[in-house]
């Protein structure tokens, strides 16, 4: 019986990853998110970081779990940028709010503790449900944080 269950589960997962369910993806891309953050920050000296996502609900859930457990290139890039004592404001955008929020939260948690932080803000334009966790992580990392709804 186990010989049939394991392949069946694997096939189900692969089929789910290949599906076209978009989950919380947005087709508008990051342009409007950047504009919303520019308005909130009140200037245009920005560094924009785009977090990649897929068009599959299951794949994005797997990305979130992986990012939280091990990180990613986007996390490493954010850590490098946010560690600078002098930098422009940072806007983090992506096509999937959950993947973007997980990336930002993981990066904030990996910042070195004994460094001087820039006063320029980090802006996340996304679903309001992610704001409390991101704000707590930003406060712990001593990063100025703005969250603006994008819907």
Q: Give pLDDT tens digits for 41-50.
A: 887 788 889 9
Helix axes 2-17, 57-70, angle to 10 degrees: 100
Check residues 2 and 140 and name the one with the higher pLDDT: 140
Question: 2-148 belongs to which CATH class?
Answer: alpha beta
> Phi and psi for 83 in degrees, rounded to 5?
-75, -15
Check residues 143 and 28 and name the one with the higher pLDDT: 143
Is the distance from CB of 67 to CB of 98 less than 8 angstroms? no
Coil vs helix vs strand at 143: coil
- Mean of pLDDT over the chain: 81
* pLDDT exceeds 50 at position 16: no
Provide the 8-state DSSP code for 25.
B
CA distance 78 to 111: 9
């Amino acid at each position: 019986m186990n010989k049939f269950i394991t392949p069946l589960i694997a096939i189900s997962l692969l089929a789910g990853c290949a599906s076209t369910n978009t989950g919380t993806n947005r087709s508008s891309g990051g342009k409007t998110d950047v504009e919303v953050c520019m308005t909130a920050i009140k200037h245009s000296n920005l560094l924009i970081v785009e977090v990649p996502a897929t068009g599959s609900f299951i794949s994005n859930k797997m990305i979130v779990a992986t990012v939280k457990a091990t990180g990613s290139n986007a996390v490493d890039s954010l850590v490098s940028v946010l560690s600078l004592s002098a930098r422009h404001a940072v806007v983090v955008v992506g096509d999937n709010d959950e993947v973007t929020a997980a990336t930002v939260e993981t990066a904030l948690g990996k910042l070195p503790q004994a460094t001087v932080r820039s006063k320029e803000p980090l802006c996340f334009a996304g679903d309001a449900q992610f704001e409390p966790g991101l704000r707590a992580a930003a406060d712990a990392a001593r990063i100025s944080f703005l969250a603006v709804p994008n819907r």
